[in-house]
Amino acid sequence: MDLNLRGKVYIVTGGSKGIGEGISRAIAAEGGIVVVATRSEGAVTTDFIAELKAGGTDAYAIFGDLQEVENCKKVIDATVKKYGRIDGIVNNAGVNDGAGLESGPEAFRKSINLNLFHYYDLVHYALPYLKESKGSIVNVSSKVALTGQGGTSGYAASKGAQLGLTREWAAELLPYSIRVNAVLPAEVMTPLYRKWLDSAFENPAKKEAEIIKKIPFEHRMTTKEEMANMVAFLLSDKSSHTTGQFMSVDGGYLHLDRSLT
């Protein structure tokens, strides 16, 4: 299916690693132009951009920590200067940093700054250009927003707030035909997830098997490609009457009866 992304410009935060990498690849595969906003300077990102370009589409990396408001503005200004337009924003960057109740107020506030504020800041600065293009916004949230996890208050609060912003922006931006949706990953094997398994458990393989057993559909983790395909669809005009929705791409993990597992 041609998603009609060719030649359109999409900003993907954290777009060179994990789920973000998958999203960038999916957009590029449809001929879209990918702007990766990341703080990960170095060969991983530069090689990734070069790979996307070698595949026949344009791509661009803008470096900076999005916890700084000025860096969010820089991403928008640099994108418009280079391409003259913005057709979509994928808010994806963030990390489950384990800032729980016992971590204290400072850790909680740092976690919110790490995971939430740049979602708002980036869209705020991009809004005039999204109005011009009647663009689309996809917020990458998490099943933790709806289920909780324990020991991660900052991340859970941020992910819940992202869902609140999704519905709020969908309502506010109706007059401009800008659609806003969220995707909720559950168990997706990424480098960060792998690092968590390997560092937090004496027997990572056993823990991984326990997690997989609880995923109803095919008892396997969701792939980053499956997450990315949903995001690409939501960015595209093939989902032209879909807004304010929370899409769980998780093999039934969140919604199916626990008796199944």
Q: β-strand 136-140 against 179-185: which pairing, if any?
A: parallel
Q: What is the pLDDT of residue 190?
A: 87
* CB contact set of 146 (below 8 Å; sequence gap of 6+): 160, 163, 184, 254
- Condensed to tens digits (0 to 9), the pLDDT of residues 81-138 reads 999 999 999 999 999 999 999 999 999 999 999 999 999 999 999 999 999 999 999 9
- The size of the chain, in residues, is 261
CA angle at 112 for the pair 245 and 226, rounded to the nearest 5°: 40
Residues 145 and 160: beta-carbon distance below 8 Å: yes
Residue 125 CA, distance from chain mean position? 18
pTM greater than the 0.85 cutoff = yes
pLDDT mean across residues, the chain? 95
For helices 153-172 and 105-115, what crossing angle results, to 10°? Answer: 40
How distant is the alpha carbon of residue 245 from its chain centre? 15
Least Cα distance to 87 among 251, 247, 252, 237 occurs for 237
259 pLDDT tier (thresholds 50, 70, 90): confident
4-13, 157-166, 183-192, range with the lowest pLDDT: 183-192
Closest CA to 30 of 61, 55, 62: 55
Quick check: 236 pLDDT over 80? yes
Instruction: For residue 128, give the DSSP letter.
Output: H
- Residues taking part in catalysis: 155
| Tokens read off for 129 | 């250009």
So what's the pLDDT on residue 195?
A: 86
Domain coordinates in residue numbering, the chain: 9-188+224-260
Looking at domain 9-188+224-260, does it have CATH number 3.40.50.300? no
Phi, psi of 31 (to 5 degrees): 85, 5
CA distance 131 to 209: 46
Rounded to an integer, what distance in angstroms lies between the CA atom of residue 76 and that of residue 69?
11
pLDDT bin (cut points 50, 70, 90) of residue 213 is very high
Burial of 48 (0-12, 13-18, 19+ CB in 10 A): buried
The C-alpha atoms of residue 224 and residue 139 are separated, in whole angstroms, by 15
Q: Count, in order, helices (H) and strands (E) of the chain.
A: 10, 7
